[in-house]
Structure 1
């Protein structure tokens, strides 16, 4: 929770609720910059709007030039695609749409799960240049909200704000001398917490299969090898220097054992299995309730 007495700027963006907490009230110009940052991100990456940049490649083969923040997104997706053996992929959008999680929010599956196309031979992504050899549905939701959290933090710092908490519906970035204590939402009851963690000058992100769930056992965390919802894990939390990494790694933990991830990334984590057990890294300094 933000500190008592801090100012709160809350708004809707990319289909979710945002709260930005600061010691001082944000001016109208800065609020406009923050809203413009969210709007530009949505216009570039949303698979739910036909006028987005990535919608171009959903209509056929072609090449697009992405925003300047795209190289960081490409780098982490390429690493996690490799570490997961293709199970975590930005091409998962077609599988989500097939299960009903489409632009119309049909939320009704027309058939059996389908695996997305492989990155190899389908997608060439170098820096800000992206080319596809056939129509694809890009979905960077596993890391995109985290990156947007970071971008909003950059806007605040550029305006001279050193103390803030950016909260994109549970994906958080904290900066400053006043740590905040964050409750870890129970994966089966959003009104309860399974523990708390102190957040200080770092990011905390979560991924949970109950967040966007529909039908009989359908949810948004899919295995890129099969297109099926992952059933062995129900919730993860990660802490890292950036929300981009924390967000991406929270999803990767559904598909990859922590060890290989810890070999390449500096982060701490907590993972809850569908059987109810919790495992966590030595560096995860949260407090779990009994």
Structure 2
């Protein structure tokens, strides 16, 4: 996605393995920048399976009871809701299968001959608030909602520091706050230099997911836990919602279930592209789609 912003001040930096940009009406102060950097580093040290001494990497070694940071319950609560709505296909337990497929800590992009089956969430994990108890080694991967959640936490940090009009953009997963309205281009999943439409955002989040964004050989990063193999029917999704975490999670869920199923629980707008090139979308997206 590409955004056009009239906000005059831009802070660009790298975090969580990707590029971030905060566009604001006034410059972001040094103290706030330090808080943002620290917050994202703590998130990565907790949830990144690509860091050998991260919290989720420690959990992957042996079963037990583990106390996550208090706000982690928001991440797991959303996962549990999406798990039910997608018949177990959106799950934080895909980490080992992804690593076996080649999306591992070394980014080897070389799949093993056998891919570990994805365990059923309720059979191996029990949660009480932010305390997770596992009965076997489990490699968590919160990639379906994690970046969106990180965007939301930075939004709240900026608000607390007195900023009122800004955009937080984590490589296309973004949220707009304040008086500004942003027109955002929707990236063509077949050609990253093109857009297939635009959408106007005002005090909303937009997240997208595409199966060819992280692709190697016959694999990509969106796998069906029931088959431990990559999905094929849907190739790209876009979601607008009030929070980036919800938009992020729904963008993944739309690879596995219908928009109507998710609308029974969430208020959101969507567009998704099928493998045959056909596109379906809610009315919110309709006026911006290029014919």
Fold shared per TM-score above 0.5: yes
Change beyond 3 A, Cα 1:175–1:286: farther
Moved over 4 A (4+): none
Change beyond 3 A, Cα 1:91–1:241: same
For the residue of structure 1 that corresponds to 2:168, the secondary structure is strand
Distance 1:69 1:148 in 2: 11
Aligned equivalent of 1:257: 258
Aligned equivalent of 2:109: 107
Distance 2:261 2:113 in 1: 34
| Structure 2 alignment gaps of length 5 or more | none
Question: For residues 39-118 of structure 1, what are the structure 2 equivalents within 5 Å?
Answer: 39-118=41-120
Moved more, 109-118 or 99-108: 109-118
For the residue of structure 1 that corresponds to 2:74, the secondary structure is helix
Aligned equivalent of 1:221: 222
Aligned equivalent of 1:7: 9
Aligned equivalent of 1:27: 29
Question: For residues 128-143 of structure 1, what are the structure 2 equivalents within 5 Å?
Answer: 128-143=130-145
The count of residues paired between Structure 1 and Structure 2 equals: 289
Please tell me whether the aligned partners of residues 5 and 23 of structure 1 are also in contact (alpha carbons under 8 angstroms): yes
Question: Residue by residue, what CA displacement relative to the aligned partner does 1:138-184 show, whole Å, maximum 9, x if unpaired?
Answer: 00000000000000000100011110100001100100111000000
Give the alignment's Cα RMSD to 1 decimal.
1.2
Change beyond 3 A, Cα 1:176–1:2: farther
Alpha-carbon distance, 1:114 to partner: 3.9
Alpha-carbon distance, 1:284 to partner: 3.5
Distance 1:84 1:231 in 2: 16
| Structure 1 alignment gaps of length 5 or more | none
Scaled by the length of structure 2, what TM-score is found?
A: 0.97
Change beyond 3 A, Cα 1:273–1:114: farther
Alpha-carbon distance, 1:189 to partner: 0.5
Distance 2:210 2:169 in 1: 16
Alpha-carbon distance, 1:115 to partner: 2.7
Alpha-carbon distance, 1:5 to partner: 5.3
For the residue of structure 1 that corresponds to 2:264, the secondary structure is helix
Aligned equivalent of 1:38: 40
Distance 1:125 1:20 in 2: 34
Aligned equivalent of 1:270: 271
Distance 1:35 1:286 in 2: 37
Distance 1:210 1:67 in 2: 32
